[in-house]
Structures are given as C-alpha cells and as structure tokens.
Amino acid sequence: MAAAETLTHLAEDAPIQFFDLKSQQASLRSALEARWSTILDHGRYIGGPEVDECEHKLCEFTGAADAVVVGSGTQALVMPLIALGYGHGDAVFIPGFTYNATANAVLLAGATPVFVDIDPKTFNMDPADLERKIQRVKGNRNLRARAVIPVDLYGLPADYAGIQDVADAHGLRIVSDAAQSFGGRQDGKWVGTLAEITATSFYPTKTLGGYGDGGAILVRDKEVGDLLRSIRWHGTGDNRKESIRVGINGRCDSIQCAVVSEKLGIFEEERKRRIAAAEVYNERLSGKVECQQGRSDEESAFGLYTVRVPDRDAVRASLQESAIPTSIYYDTPLHQMPAFDQFAPPGGLPECEKASREVLSLPMHPYLSENQIHRVCDALLKALQR
C-alpha cells in the first residue's frame, strides 16, 4: 500500500501533535474500560491473568522464546545484568548517545559503563569503536570486559551482526536496549529476537506503550525467562516468602499489561502507518537534510523521526513559529552528564558530541496525515533557507 493510501483517511488539517495518544485512545477506550472492569472484579492488580496474556502475545508477535513483563524499561535493563551476575569490576559497553537509563542500569547493577562512539549515519553503536574500547579495557587491571548493550536509537536496530562479531571475539554477552524499537526488523527478524536478551519499554509514547510505566524482557532461552521471573519478585522461588537469590520489585501491574495486550491488537496497523509517514518524510527531505540511514535489510520501528540540521536552535524556533512541534533526543551525550562524566573516555566521543548539537526529531506517530507531514516538511525546508 502506498504511503498516501495509508494516511489519507487521517485528520488532514488538525493541529500537529508531536505524539498523539488521544487519537489512539479513542479507538481503544471502550475495550480498555471493559478490561479495567474485569480487573476490578477479579482484584488481582499485581500478577493477574493479564500478565500471562501480555507475555504470551509478546512472544507470539516477535517469535521470542519467552517474555517477562516488568515495571519499567529501566528494570528491563537492570534485571538481565543481575541475572548474568555482573557487578563490581565488570565493564559493560554502551553507546554514549542515548537516554540516561542505559547508563543508570549498568551502575544500578554495580557494573561500570564504558562509553562507545556512534556511527554518524545510523546514530547507533559503532562496532569499530566498540573494538577499540574493548582493547582499552583489556589494558585496565581493574576492569573485565563482560557485556555490550547496543541501543536501537529512534527505532532503528543496531548493527547486531557487526556487534555480535566483536562480542564473540572477546567472549562478551549482548543485552539489547530496544526501548524505542519494538516493531523494527533486521534481516527478516523482529526486534526481540536479534539478541539473546532484549529489553523494551512500555512508556506511553513508545511504539508499543502502556498508560503508565512498564517494560518487558524478551529472551531466546526459557530458562533465562524463569530466572528473570524470580528476580522480578525479589528473587523468590515457589515460596514467595523466601528469597533464593538477590532480586528486586520488578513487577508490572495487571492494568498496564491489559493496555499493552489491547494495543497489540492494533499494533500492525499502527506500524504500517509509521512506515508510511516515514516514507513521505523521506521523499520530501532526502538530499536536503541528513536523515537517519539504515541498511537495506533493516526496517525501523520509527519510534522517532530524526534529522540533522545546521543551526538547530534557530531552525527549531522557526518551526515553533509555524506551530510545528519538535524535540531533541539528545542534547547532551552521556559522558558529558555530571552523573557519568567520571567514565568519559580520553578524547571524548566526537560523533556523539556532534550528533547532540545537530539532531532534531520531527512529529512521528501513527495518526499523522499526509497533509500534516507535508506541512512539517514545508516549514522545515523554509527554515533551512533562512
């Protein structure tokens, strides 16, 4: 189906929203109210049947062997590191250009983040710089290279083949941070199966979001899923009163699981609309601004549509004058944040720093009409000519 055919039935002249949860809610409200009524009736607000249903549907969609729903995307990153036994003296390699939760997760697990530069075209972790950072850690007697957390920034899957090659050469495990990329694909495989362990987020503005905090861990090995379920409930086993390992409160409530399950019913249609919106953006902006570029075997989930622009602040101000909402993800690389600057690599991360000065995210959600996208592009191209 052509992009125009997918988008023509959407609102043409409504004010443009950066995210639009109200339109989505309108199509789901009656079903959600029925689900919430069911939860009120059975009273299992934590660990209700909605949890099992949500986990089953996530596996069904992605092809993962198991799924464990948790209380947030950050918990979805911390818990696998606990399960793998990482802690003091263990180096975990992460991109320097991402949300701060990725670094926080490593530190909360007791490990040490090692920041890696990005590929300027994809905004994702650069496998070549990963190799350099691993070699540097191997020269540090106080650190052991243990794991890599690639991030699928803006919805585009990271270079898992390249990263896996580097990880295998050094005996590192991979935990994917797919908070922005549920619904993306690479080499015909869905996000959730591209790494042995994948963390995703159900924050409301994600491609698959709840109406509160939540997340999930998707795994290839059901035994890992069982271990994560124990960690999710304070490390307990069959006897919920006794911890058999260290764990946390990582539970996701029944209401959020019900919301996610209901949204999975319309997810494929929303995914197609995101792709159609991105195609219109690409047609209008290709060759005029730098857009995020993936490989031919990759399909972004388009959690965000992000471009590079010179004189970003002036461009953004001009767009605001035209009632075009924008956002910046992210204006400070992790290694320059006060909480993490002690881990900054010598010489910094040039590509992360350059991206932080230039990236600008445009409206992206399944309820954009083609006309609205053209209005965004018209305003952006006009702003660039000033």
Alpha-carbon distance 308 to 380, whole Å? 12
Distances (CA, A) of 267 to 48, 306, 342: 23, 22, 41
pLDDT-based confidence at residue 241 (cuts at 50, 70, 90): confident
Q: Are 205 and 302 in contact (CB under 8 A)?
A: no
Res 334 pLDDT > 80 = yes
> Which pLDDT belongs to residue 314?
97
The set of residues, in sequence order, having a beta carbon less than 8 Å from that of 207 and lying 6+ positions away, is: 155, 180, 181, 182, 183, 267, 270, 271, 274, 301, 302, 303
> Which pLDDT belongs to residue 14?
79
**Average pLDDT of the segment spanning 211-219:** 97
pLDDT-based confidence at residue 1 (cuts at 50, 70, 90): very low
> Which pLDDT belongs to residue 218?
98
Supply φ then ψ for residue 190, to 5 degrees. -75, 150
Written as one string, the DSSP assignment of 247-272 is --B---BHHHHHHHHHHHHHHHHHHH
Q: Are 220 and 65 in contact (CB under 8 A)?
A: yes
> Which pLDDT belongs to residue 11?
61
**Average pLDDT of the segment spanning 169-190:** 98
User: What's the token pair of residue 44?
Assistant: 């299992």
Res 2 pLDDT > 80 = no
Peptide bond into 281 cis (omega under 30): no
> Which stretch of 54-58, 91-95, 140-144, 237-241 has the lowest confidence by average pLDDT?
237-241
Tens-digit pLDDT profile for residues 137-152? 999 999 999 999 999 9
Res 373 pLDDT > 80 = yes
Q: How many C-beta neighbours within 10 Å does residue 263 have?
A: 22
**Average pLDDT of the segment spanning 154-169:** 98
Buried/exposed code over 175-206 (b: 16+ C-beta within 10 A; e: otherwise): bbbbbbbbbbbbeeebbbbbbbbbbbbbbbeb
Distances (CA, A) of 299 to 96, 273, 365: 23, 13, 16
> Which pLDDT belongs to residue 295?
87
Q: What is the residue whose two structure tokens read 């003296």? A: 89
**Average pLDDT of the segment spanning 95-124:** 98
Q: Are 122 and 155 in contact (CB under 8 A)?
A: no
> Which pLDDT belongs to residue 3?
55
Closest CA to 148 of 123, 186, 116, 108: 116
Ramachandran area for residue 358 (φ above 0: left; ψ -120 to 50: alpha; else beta) = alpha
User: What's the token pair of residue 170?
Assistant: 């050094």
Helix (H) or strand (E) holding 337, with range, is none
Tens-digit pLDDT profile for residues 288-310? 999 999 988 999 999 999 999 99
Domains (range + CATH), the chain: 3-22+266-384 (3.90.1150.10), 27-262 (3.40.640.10)
| Arithmetic mean of pLDDT over the chain | 95
Q: CB-based burial of residue 1 (10 Å sphere; 0-12 exposed, 13-18 middle, 19+ buried)?
A: exposed
Res 6 pLDDT > 80 = no
**Average pLDDT of the segment spanning 21-31:** 95
